[in-house]
Amino acid sequence: MGVKSGRILLGRIGPAHGIRGHVLVQTYTEAPEDIASYGALEDESGRRQFEIEIVRVTPKGVVARIAGVEDRNAAEALRGTELYVSRERLPPTQEDEFYLSDLIGLPTFKPDGTRLGEVVAVHNFGAGDILEIRLGDGRNTEMVPFTKDFVPEVDLSSRRMTIDMPAEGEEE
């Protein structure tokens, strides 16, 4: 999930699905169908709102009906639209649970307290979340699995994350 001025990216409208105006929505919520539970979502500018009704969940996202979209042409016109919700509408997180958007920009440190860099992105290629850390030199990044072994501590209130990476050549 990305953040834009207090809003969280929950999904992106994909191609039209069928002839009745349904669309495929790629979701960034834990359960894909949860995207419809936040009420009206907004586009990137915040000027347009979208009421979403889930038709069915698929491996590629959810097939959804958007209020006011009645045909394939109208659905196709929305393709690529990102869907946001205001941060205050999200539920609080549990212990050791984070909104990925809260991790972006978080300073990272080695276990000995030495500054490592900062989180610039969180990726998931299907095998779990991976943090992209911009190293202190500002030019290079390092990919780190977002697991307790590699990230033993995340302290959002202190704005710091500890990264414990094996030394080069060290067996994992």
124 or 54, which is more confident: 54
Mean pLDDT, residues 1-23: 83
Q: Which of 51, 71, 59 is nearest to 24 (CA)?
A: 59
Domain spanning 3-89: which superfamily? Answer: RimM (2.40.30.60)
User: Per the structure block, which two tokens stand in for 109?
Assistant: 């440190």
Q: Please indicate, yes or no, whether the overall pTM of this predicted structure exceeds 0.85.
A: no
Distance separating alpha carbons of residues 52 and 73, to the nearest angstrom = 17
8-12, 33-37, 136-140 — which is least confidently predicted? 136-140
pLDDT digits (tens, 9 = 90+) for 98-147: 887 889 999 999 999 999 999 999 888 877 889 999 998 788 999 999 99
DSSP 40: S
Structure tokens at 31: 């359960």
As given in the structure block, the two tokens for residue 115 are 């500054």
Question: In CATH terms, is domain 100-162 a member of 3.40.1050.10?
Answer: no
Instruction: Give the per-residue pLDDT at 94.
Output: 83
The proportion of the chain whose per-residue pLDDT surpasses 90, expressed as a percent, equals: 65
Residues 151-171: tens digit of each pLDDT: 999 998 899 999 998 665 455
Q: How many residues are listed for the chain in this entry?
A: 172
Domain boundaries along the sequence of the chain: 3-89, 100-162
